[in-house]
Structure 1
Amino acid sequence: MYHLLISENRDPELFSTVVWFLWNQRNNLRLGKGSIPLDQVLQQARNKLQEFQSAQTRTGAALTRQSSSQWQPPPSSVYKINFDGALFMQEQRAGIGVAIRNENGLIMVSSSQQIPLPGTVVEVEALAARKALELALDCGLDKVILEGDCEILLKTLQTASKSLAQFGKIAEDIRVYSSMFQDISFEFILQCFKI
């Protein structure tokens, strides 16, 4: 299969997708779930890769990049939701934090909690983003900007297709929550700033 995918076509994306697909099928068999015949793996992997690539060209909610080194307040009647995650490796724990501010920069509600250590840093950020939107929905907010420092997550949330990443299920939850807002946008910030 390597010869077919890499040597002849020189398509490392397809190769990676096939390897992921084989691993996924192995896990399905191990868990007693259905799997597809091996002779269909290559075509299924091509389909998944094409679906992923086409989703990368679609636009969803705009992802803007904050260029200022100062926190910027949201427009009037919009709330800015900042979220972040932190790892505490020695304790095998992670922390997630959320702050929701109004147009004057006043914190209207905040939350922080420790959670068991997830598998990846992006998962921690995704859990923080999900908690942020849950909190905003609980407060009855309908126009929000979700702002964080995890570009991978924020770009994933823009796409319409399901993520194959380890944090994909959490991203799906976030998309469902996002659909409950009248208006939502995503902003990427390079780092946490002093406020």
Structure 2
Amino acid sequence: MDSRIIQEFAVVARKIWWRRNKFLFEGTFAHPNAVVREARGTLDMLVEEESRLARRQTNTQVEDWQAPPSNWIKLNWDSAVDKVNGVIGVGVTVRDSIGYTIATKQTNKILFLDPLLAEAFGALKVVQFGVELGLSQVVVEGDSLQVINALRSDIEGCNSVSMYVSEAKLILQNFAKWEVSHVRRNSNTMAHLLAKEALSIHDDIVTMGVLPSCFPLD
């Protein structure tokens, strides 16, 4: 039997029981049609609540993010490209060892539309933001393996990507301790969503201690 029918039967049966008790103990009589309408209203509320809880569960499970060690801060970044308008967007999240969101940043730039160049620019922005926040022990994490490997490497290039990476590596020296880490996209979802939203902003957006408005609370 369909679960909706079972739920409706249970709700109607309960309303009928309440109707009986009201008649016996309070002397009030509710028309059967009113009982059915009230039962269906209750059922609609239950279905809506189930849907809301399902959405919340999906939102909490969408990102397989791993927390940094105690006393360390993890900075995730991602970049997005808008080929139509010639813009790249960068999203940055800053979270502690218990997963608390310390800060986020969104920025964009008119830049040559190369995904690797966009990721290198994002790497520069994420380490700059970490220094601006006065952090000391950081894990810098992104889903571009090429940029992560370039940040780890001692080899310097002479193209635009290498220029951004080289500047990012210099800024990393401002931290007392630092590491870089590569993750898959499903472990970098929050930064990815911020990067996509950043494509349409007019000025940089920084939040402190709260999630940006693009993340639903329900």
Verify same fold: TM over 0.5. yes
Determine the structure 1 residue equivalent to 2:166. 172
2:78 is aligned, of 78, 84, 91, to 84
- Equivalent position amino acid for 2:81 in 1: L
- Equivalent position amino acid for 2:64 in 1: Q
TM-score, normalisation: structure 2 = 0.55
- Structure 2 residue 78 is matched with structure 1 residue 70: no
Determine the structure 1 residue equivalent to 2:183. 189
Alpha-carbon RMSD across the aligned residues, in angstroms, is 1.5
Distance (whole Å) between structure 2 residues aligned to residue 163 and residue 148 of structure 1: 20
Distance (whole Å) between structure 1 residues aligned to residue 183 and residue 77 of structure 2: 11
Determine the structure 1 residue equivalent to 2:91. 97
Deviations 1:90-140 (A, max 9, x none): 111110110010111111011001211334211111111111111111111
Distance (whole Å) between structure 2 residues aligned to residue 166 and residue 113 of structure 1: 19
Distance (whole Å) between structure 2 residues aligned to residue 165 and residue 184 of structure 1: 25
Distance (whole Å) between structure 2 residues aligned to residue 166 and residue 120 of structure 1: 10
2:137 is aligned, of 133, 143, 158, to 143
After the TM superposition, which residues 9-158 of structure 1 pair with which residues of structure 2 at under 5 Å, given as runs? 70-158=64-152
Higher Rg of the two aligned structures? 2
TM-score, normalisation: structure 1 = 0.61
Distance (whole Å) between structure 2 residues aligned to residue 192 and residue 165 of structure 1: 30
Which stretches of structure 1, 4 residues or longer, exceed 6 Å deviation after superposition? none
Identity %: 21
Determine the structure 2 residue equivalent to 1:30. none
CA contact (8 A) 1:84 1:148 kept: yes
CA contact (8 A) 1:143 1:182 kept: yes
Distance (whole Å) between structure 2 residues aligned to residue 150 and residue 102 of structure 1: 22
Distance (whole Å) between structure 2 residues aligned to residue 166 and residue 117 of structure 1: 11
Q: Which has the higher helix share?
A: 2
Unaligned runs of 5+ in 1: 1-68
2:155 is aligned, of 132, 143, 161, to 161
Provide the aligned length of Structure 1 versus Structure 2.
127
Distance (whole Å) between structure 1 residues aligned to residue 130 and residue 70 of structure 2: 16
Determine the structure 1 residue equivalent to 2:46. none
CA contact (8 A) 2:78 2:122 kept: yes
- Equivalent position amino acid for 2:124 in 1: R
Equivalent residue of 1:192, what SS? helix
Distance (whole Å) between structure 2 residues aligned to residue 75 and residue 81 of structure 1: 13
* CA-CA distance at 1:190 after TM superposition: 1.7
Unaligned runs of 5+ in 2: 1-62, 191-218
